[in-house]
Structure 1
Amino acid sequence: MFTQLINPSVDAYNIETGAFWGEARFTPTQEAEQALLDWINYGVKPKSLLMLESNFEPSEQYVPIVPNQVYHQKGIFRALVKDGSSGRWFPVEARITYDWRTRSVEPGLHFNSVEFDNIQITDFVESFY
């Protein structure tokens, strides 16, 4: 069973064209971290996730967003998870679709908080070497 999650990120893609928009890195709230661990350990789909201090690295295809507007996208979620028994860290990856919005009032590439909803998992992989 995994007991801790660090370094979460999402590679974001346009849901209609498949164009890569960029990578977002963020810090999950305690509730979001627990929801993600429940997702990974037990297959319980999170209803909503609140992430803090999101930094976005855009691609050349990125179209700036409107703050507080909901966007439907697809992406690749990645994180490191800690095995509670061995203490070893493992990378995990999931292909997902989701709705998201920033709660920031200013446009830009750093958001104080981002909310993810309507998360659908299309594929999930634990990486072992």
Structure 2
Amino acid sequence: MYIHLKNPTVDAYNLETGKFIGEARFTPTEESEKALLDWINYGIPLSSLIMLDSDFAPSENYVPIVPTQTYHQRGIFRALLEDSSTGEWVPVEVHITYDWRTRSTESGNYFSSVEFDKIKIDRIVRIEY
């Protein structure tokens, strides 16, 4: 069972073309961290997640967004999860489809608040070598 999460990111892909759009790094709210852990540990479906301080590193395929407009994308969610029995941090990646929108109107590639919604899991992978 996992008890904490850190360094969450999402690699975003255009749903129609499959092209890489960019990578977002953010901080989950306490409620979002709990929801993510319940999702990964117990398979409890996510309704929506609020992420704070989102920094987005766009690719050459990125088209600037319209603030507060909803976008449907594919992505790879990655994070380090703390294993409760060993205390080790385990890298995990989850392939997902989701809707997202900014909840703020800053220009550029930083958003103080982002909402993810209608998150569906394609597969979960525990990264091991």
Across the aligned residues of Structure 1 and Structure 2, the Cα RMSD in angstroms comes to: 0.7
Which residue of 1 is the match for residue 126 of structure 2?
A: 126
In the alignment, structure 1 segments of 5+ residues that lack a partner are: none
1:47 aligns with 2:27: no
The answer to whether the 8 Å contact 1:22/1:57 transfers is yes
The answer to whether the 8 Å contact 1:10/1:25 transfers is yes
Offset of residue 69 of structure 1: 0.4
Query: How many residues matched?
Result: 129
Which residue of 1 is the match for residue 115 of structure 2?
A: 115
Moved over 4 A (4+): none
- One-letter amino acid of the counterpart of residue 69, structure 2: Q
1:72 aligns with 2:81: no
Offset of residue 107 of structure 1: 2.6
Which residue of 2 is the match for residue 87 of structure 1?
A: 87
TM-score, with structure 2 as normaliser: 0.98
In the alignment, structure 2 segments of 5+ residues that lack a partner are: none
Separation of aligned partners in 1, 2:106 and 2:56? 14
SS at match of 1:41: helix
Alignment of 1:88-107 (within 5 A): 88-107=88-107
SS at match of 1:99: strand
TM-score, with structure 1 as normaliser: 0.98
SS at match of 2:36: helix
The answer to whether the 8 Å contact 1:51/1:113 transfers is yes
Offset of residue 45 of structure 1: 1.7
Separation of aligned partners in 2, 1:119 and 1:97? 6
SS at match of 1:92: strand
The answer to whether the 8 Å contact 1:24/1:56 transfers is yes
